[in-house]
Structure 1
Amino acid sequence: MSVQTPFRALSRRAPAVQCLHPRSQRWQHQRSMVTVVPPVTQDSTSSKGPTAMVFMNMGGPSTTDEVGNFLSRLFADGDLIPLGPLQSYLGPLISRRRTPKIIKQYADIGGGSPIRKWSEYQAEEMCKILDKTNPETAPHKPYVAFRYADPLTEEMYAKLLEDGFGKGKGGRAVAFTQYPQYSCSTTGSSLNELWKWRQRMESPSRNPSLTPAEAEGSIQWSVIDRWPTHPGLVNAFAENIEAKLQTYPEEVRDKVVLLYSAHSLPMSVVNRGDPYPAEVAATVWAVQQRLGFRNPYRLCWQSQVGPSAWLGAQTSDTVKNLVQKGQKDLVLVPIAFTSDHIETLFEIDQEVIHEANELGAEGRVRRAESLNGSPTFIKGLADLASAHLKSGELCSKQMGLRCPACKNEKCLQSKKFFSGQDKPDNEAFIM
């Protein structure tokens, strides 16, 4: 099946055999005997609803008590922090050593990360808009799936089943990445995790307790896997930058340097062909274009961990070097984050800006607000989701293309599933 095959082709109710995606020979033999239960419907005005809108993100500990588990999961993920064959040994060791320091950092920003609060708010507000703009797929039900913190992917999936999706009832779910720029370390890792739990909970080859009807009436997934230059995202960033520039005297306003800061990647990930650096740069260019290129700018990278080579220049070094050269008017823009979390509230606000002031910046190094509850941003999310729901597409065309040097079998299988390419005769698309 082509990646452009409309989603509606996957969810027709008749004839029943057109809905089938058997994963084993046993189910191919049985499928003619299976009666597919119609998709869950909770609104008589909705012909295709309800629709689960699942926001995927890294997440963060909501309290300091959750920091240890958060770090354990984070350093265990070779997609995000590749530590080689010693991952199972080095990951727990690094996480234990870093836990006391990170607990203090979360305490300094109020006792926990606000990312869950903002993610749930954004998802709920977006769904309210979608219920009005896309009544045919209503009601739109918001869910959050974090990679390293509660609610974890498996918790979200269990909630979907509990709410009436899957288990023979069908239904549609959209995995909506909240990393606007795609990386195998972020969106890729989250989709790998989602695929893993989908297999465990809804695949007959992994879950033999499923009845034939439950296996055939599984959740139908599609993916919004990247959106680096979407107008809603670009306009929301531009509005926050313009608001911060207004805090500078008019005579220096156009001379303020904009420093776009994104989470860095290990060079080992970059060199295998990860698209993230190019997509972050695309976002920066689009925002600068929206601003009319009135200010000089640079793209820099933050949050390097460990001694290995990471993508640079580092944000902290860039600010330090500019201030020491006399360029004190700087606005930091968290260009790869859709809400506040420790990288903005602690790393930028309490480390980078504090160090700049110690070097004599005199309070002239500032940060643009994060997107958080921006109405422009939330409307942009709704516009993007609305277009996706109406398009019938499973994912972007880029989704099926692996990194040129990728050797991750889990990534291969995940891409096959979400791009609809998990039939033997379609394997050639996954490069």
Structure 2
Amino acid sequence: MNLGGPRDSDEVFPFLHRLFADPDIIPLPMQKHIAPWIARRRTPKIIDQYNKIGGGSPIRRWTERQGELMSALLDKLSPATAPHKAYIGFRYAAPLTEDAIQTMLADGVTRAVAFTQYPQYSCSTTGSSLNELWRRTTELDSEQRIRWSVIDRWGTHPGLIEAFSQNILTKLASYPKDRRDSVVILYSAHSLPMSVVNRGDPYPPEVAATVDAVTKRLAQDGVRNPYRLVWQSQVGPSAWLGPQTNDAIHGLATQGHQDQLLVPIAFTSDHIETLFELDLEYGEEAKKAGVTGLKRVESLNDSPVFVRALADLVRDHLAEAKPVSAQWLLRCPGCKNDTCAQTRRFFGKECVSVPLP
């Protein structure tokens, strides 16, 4: 499960419409009516951005490759549960969640793992995807032919931390040796509206936990560079979690920090937020600020270390035989969304060790 992205200009408006119509990710007043207006207004700008990175999002290609490599490795690591097959259920672009379910039913699937590709949990990302999975499952599989379990978060998994760390070490090595230790590492993650944060969304501390784990892993190789956790992709005038990545780049530049290394710490593959926002948009802003040493760590994509982490996660999850985690069963303290409650009851119905909300 992931957000997805338009493959060409024709898919940009439908993608944006689904995105802005989803109250789990961007809560708006009169959302049903205002979402198409916002989508139409932003479509030309977003098409231009996609044209600058090749005309469409590569997220489907990377997700397909990750799934194929993971499944092949799983067949070797866990022959008792083989064969394994990865199905893609994107939230806002094809193949959508309902496409995945229909294909799985046609293939005769009876056991499935809903595996979020957002390592750190947020109601706006994993939560929204699971809510949609519940809605579409009750609609398309009322007989519950498919038995589900959920991998809802894995931001501190050792394999993920190792994959991030190896990519950071590789990029740090590209700086001159006499400047390498002073490079400021900026861990950049997608921001959230403060209204979502304030109702108790666990995403900010989970991203911070990933950063902390990576920092400790880098220290094992003697890397103790200064760092900050920053946030990107704010949309609209309302308050969002900060500091914004772009503002951090400018602020550090005024303090004399010319060498800055961007790390996409909450994304598992390249897409518009890495290829356009980090590479092109922030790269141009850095030049204006006089930053001469801005670089970006490679995304995980098809890193063998990362693929092994995916396979290990699924293998261990299947062996544990728990449908959901105790953490996922706990709703945000300020949650008033009944869909969240119904989703947890549905996917957690087999979990007898943790009381349902």
TM-score (norm 1): 0.80
Contact 1:401 1:429 in 2 (8 A): no
For residue 79 of structure 2, the aligned residue among 117, 129, 135 is: 135
Deviation string, structure 1 residues 193-213 (Cα, Å, up to 9, x no partner): 00101100122xxxxxxxxxx
Q: Give unpaired runs (5+ residues) of structure 2.
A: none
- CA distance in structure 2 between the aligned counterparts of 1:149 and 1:314, rounded to whole angstroms: 26
- CA distance in structure 1 between the aligned counterparts of 2:65 and 2:262, rounded to whole angstroms: 25
For residue 2 of structure 2, the aligned residue among 32, 57, 63 is: 57
Deviation string, structure 1 residues 276-299 (Cα, Å, up to 9, x no partner): 001000000000000005111000
1:33-52 to 2 correspondence within 5 Å? none
Q: Give unpaired runs (5+ residues) of structure 1.
A: 1-55, 166-170, 204-214
| Counterpart check, 1:370 vs 2:299 | yes
| Counterpart check, 1:282 vs 2:221 | no
Partner of 2:117: 178
| Counterpart check, 1:227 vs 2:157 | no
- CA distance in structure 2 between the aligned counterparts of 1:132 and 1:348, rounded to whole angstroms: 37
Partner of 1:305: 235
Secondary structure of the residue aligned to 2:6 is coil
Shift in Å at residue 324 of structure 1? 2.1
Shift in Å at residue 267 of structure 1? 0.4
For residue 46 of structure 2, the aligned residue among 102, 109, 113 is: 102
Shift in Å at residue 398 of structure 1? 0.5
- CA distance in structure 2 between the aligned counterparts of 1:105 and 1:296, rounded to whole angstroms: 32
Partner of 2:355: 429
Partner of 1:259: 186
- CA distance in structure 2 between the aligned counterparts of 1:81 and 1:190, rounded to whole angstroms: 14
- CA distance in structure 2 between the aligned counterparts of 1:417 and 1:97, rounded to whole angstroms: 37
What amino acid maps onto 1:347 in structure 2? E
Q: Which has the larger radius of gyration?
A: 1
Partner of 2:132: 193
| Counterpart check, 1:294 vs 2:221 | no
What amino acid maps onto 1:175 in structure 2? A
- CA distance in structure 2 between the aligned counterparts of 1:373 and 1:389, rounded to whole angstroms: 23
Secondary structure of the residue aligned to 2:153 is coil
Contact 2:98 2:136 in 1 (8 A): yes
For residue 279 of structure 2, the aligned residue among 329, 349, 357 is: 349
Secondary structure of the residue aligned to 1:148 is coil
Deviation string, structure 1 residues 393-419 (Cα, Å, up to 9, x no partner): 112110100000101011110011112
| Counterpart check, 1:202 vs 2:141 | yes
Contact 2:173 2:180 in 1 (8 A): yes
Partner of 2:19: 74
- CA distance in structure 1 between the aligned counterparts of 2:98 and 2:70, rounded to whole angstroms: 23
Deviation string, structure 1 residues 188-229 (Cα, Å, up to 9, x no partner): 0000000101100122xxxxxxxxxxx26x110000000010
Partner of 1:418: 347
Shift in Å at residue 62 of structure 1? 1.1
Shift in Å at residue 164 of structure 1? 1.2
Secondary structure of the residue aligned to 1:307 is coil
Deviation string, structure 1 residues 168-196 (Cα, Å, up to 9, x no partner): xxx20000000000000000000000010
| Counterpart check, 1:243 vs 2:170 | yes
Secondary structure of the residue aligned to 2:335 is coil
For residue 251 of structure 2, the aligned residue among 321, 329, 349 is: 321
| Counterpart check, 1:395 vs 2:324 | yes
- CA distance in structure 1 between the aligned counterparts of 2:39 and 2:251, rounded to whole angstroms: 31
- CA distance in structure 2 between the aligned counterparts of 1:189 and 1:430, rounded to whole angstroms: 19
Partner of 1:49: none
Which contiguous aligned blocks of 4+ residues in structure 1 show a shift greater than 4 angstroms?
none
What RMSD in Å do the two structures reach over aligned CA positions?
A: 1.4
Shift in Å at residue 421 of structure 1? 6.2
- CA distance in structure 1 between the aligned counterparts of 2:130 and 2:105, rounded to whole angstroms: 18
Deviation string, structure 1 residues 78-99 (Cα, Å, up to 9, x no partner): 0000003x11122111111000
What amino acid maps onto 1:196 in structure 2? R
Shift in Å at residue 358 of structure 1? 2.1
TM-score (norm 2): 0.97
Shift in Å at residue 429 of structure 1? 2.8
Contact 1:57 1:179 in 2 (8 A): yes
What amino acid maps onto 2:21 in structure 1? A
Contact 1:421 1:429 in 2 (8 A): no
